[in-house]
A and B are shown apart, each in its own frame.
Chain A
Amino acid sequence: MDFMASKQPENSLLGPEADSQRTLYPYVTGTSVVALKYKDGILMAADMGGSYGSTLRYKNVERMKAIGKHSLLGASGEISDFQEILRYLDDLILYDNMWDDGNSLGPKEVHNYLTRVMYNRRNKFNPLWNSLVLGGIKNGQKYLGTVSMIGVNFEDDHVATGFGNHLARPILRQEWHENLSFEDGVKLLEKCMRVLLYRDRSAINKLQIAKITEEGMTISQPYSLKTYWEFSAFENPTQGAVGSW
């Protein structure tokens, strides 16, 4: 990283944090968000954890929020940056509402706005350290997209952030289909979240599932998933090979 020369003299006592032109590092982070399109709209799931390094410090963080009438935003990464993004979106939606012209920003437009914000911050080497999932439905048109901290954005029938990309997407590629019912959608998301709980160190067993349809957005109460540990191979793994694990 030698080309990113600091403006400070060599004998400066200030650490790397003082140079506001450098890329930062995250402190309080949220892990995966998983979302899919179903018959009536979008379903999205995220746990309620806010990790501080390897410590599972906060266990009541809502990482999914409604944006305007038609959209739902889920975020992983630095929570303070997510809170700031929510403030930007508040201003955006307010401005849109003040026109009072019967029109309202749909998920496609919000996604585009977020993409521009994230990409322009990335270009200034001062990113918002988040991976975002933006889903919604307007006039019967379902929309599900994602933006990363470097501005990579795309839309798909199912998306995920972080570990979810590695663990949840393969499951969704196999089992997702057009016109999933609400029940099947929830079961599919729960299958993904359970795997993440087993295999992601920063996952906690307290999650919410949000649904957005033409009628509006609802977010479930926080709840926990049952996990399965009764494989016979788990009970005595070193029986056949003393000293192994």
Chain B
Amino acid sequence: MDLNMDLNAPHSMGTTIIGVTYNGGVVLGADSRTSTGMYVANRASDKITQLTDNVYVCRSGSAADSQLVSDYVRYFLHQHTIQLGQPATVKVAANLIRLLSYNNKNMLETGLIVGGWDKYEGGKIYGIPLGGTLIEQPFSIGGSGSSYLYGFFDQAWKEGMTKDEAEQLVVKAVSLAIARDGASGGVVRTVVINSEGVTRNFYPGDKLQLWHEELEPQNSLLDILNSPSPEPMNI
């Protein structure tokens, strides 16, 4: 047990997760890599988990901790919805997550982004980092991959985007994070939530835009060699 923790270095968490509000709802996004040390245990995980019909949560950090917290909150929200007689609000869902995160802060290692739509407040995003702070934001980023996105969002985020603009922003951002973060990878999943309902989207890794020093994927070297205008080999 290392008692001399560097107080300025928080735990890094495998994953990139994003939640963004737009004019009419929210878009949640995440990568799909679950790692155990250096091994990729699941290359197509679904980190955007349903809590209710209108509220979803992006999970990062310990897979076990985030799954259990989500399961408990889904259970509580189910009962709450029955008692209330109408859909739960995003704020209530976020506060339940916060309650578990804060009161078990010694044992849990999970950062969550709650996003959804309700008839009172419209689309809302709540970030709940390590420690259990609850913070409502127009957009939120989390996970180890998010380190590479602070500058990107400072520049690219704007208020009042359309649904398509917001989703494209999220896909681009997760894709950029995957390019640089070893703990993020696989496919980009998005979930769009608005008054009309929920839409899940899937962007496979090989269909994403190429970034710096990334090359167009090929089936084989042989295709390059045999093609009419062969590419010169880069040294």
* Interface set of A (CB-CB < 8 Å, partner B): 1, 6, 15-20, 22, 24-28, 50, 52-55, 57-58, 60-61, 78-80, 83-84
Contacts and interface: CB of A to CB of B under 8 A. Distances in A.
Contact of B10 (A18, A20, A52, A83): A52
Interface residues of B, number: 24
B127 to A, nearest CB: 8
Contacts of B137: 58, 60
A51 B133 CA distance: 12
Nearest to B101: A80
Contacts of B132: 80
Contacts of B127: 58
A158 to B, nearest CB: 28
Contacts of A25: 5, 7
Given A17-B107, A17-B109, A18-B107, A80 B131 contact: yes
Contact of A26 (B7, B102, B106, B107): B7
Interface string B105-126: 1110100000000000000000
A26 B106 CA distance: 11
For the complex of A and B, list the 5 residue pairs with the smallest distance between their C-beta atoms, beginning with the closest. A27-B131, A80-B133, A80-B132, A79-B133, A27-B130
Contacts of A84: 102
A28 B129 contact: yes
23 contacts: A1-B3, A15-B1, A16-B3, A17-B107, A17-B109, A18-B107, A24-B105, A25-B5, A26-B131, A27-B10, A27-B130, A28-B131, A50-B133, A52-B10, A54-B8, A54-B9, A57-B150, A58-B135, A61-B135, A78-B131, A80-B102, A80-B132, A83-B102
Interface in B115-173: 127, 129-135, 137, 147, 150
Contacts of B133: 27-28, 50, 78-80, 83
A162 to B, nearest CB: 13
Q: Which of B10, B107, B127, B137 has the most CB of A within 10 A?
A: B10
Contacts of A61: 135
Given A28-B133, A57-B129, A58-B135, 11 more contacts: A18-B106, A18-B107, A25-B5, A27-B10, A28-B129, A50-B133, A52-B10, A60-B137, A80-B132, A80-B133, A83-B102
A80 B1 contact: no
A18 to B, nearest CB: 5
B189 to A, nearest CB: 24
Nearest to B141: A57
Nearest to B134: A83
B152 to A, nearest CB: 14
Nearest to B3: A1
Interface centre among B105, B127, B137 (most CB of A within 10 A): B105
B5 A52 contact: no
A22 B106 CA distance: 9
Given A28-B129, A55-B147, A84-B102, A50 B5 contact: no
Contacts of B3: 1, 16
Given A18-B107, A24-B105, A27-B129, A53 B1 contact: no
Nearest to B9: A53
Contacts of A19: 106
A54 B137 CA distance: 20
Nearest to A58: B135
Interface string B1-38: 11101011110000000000000000000000000000
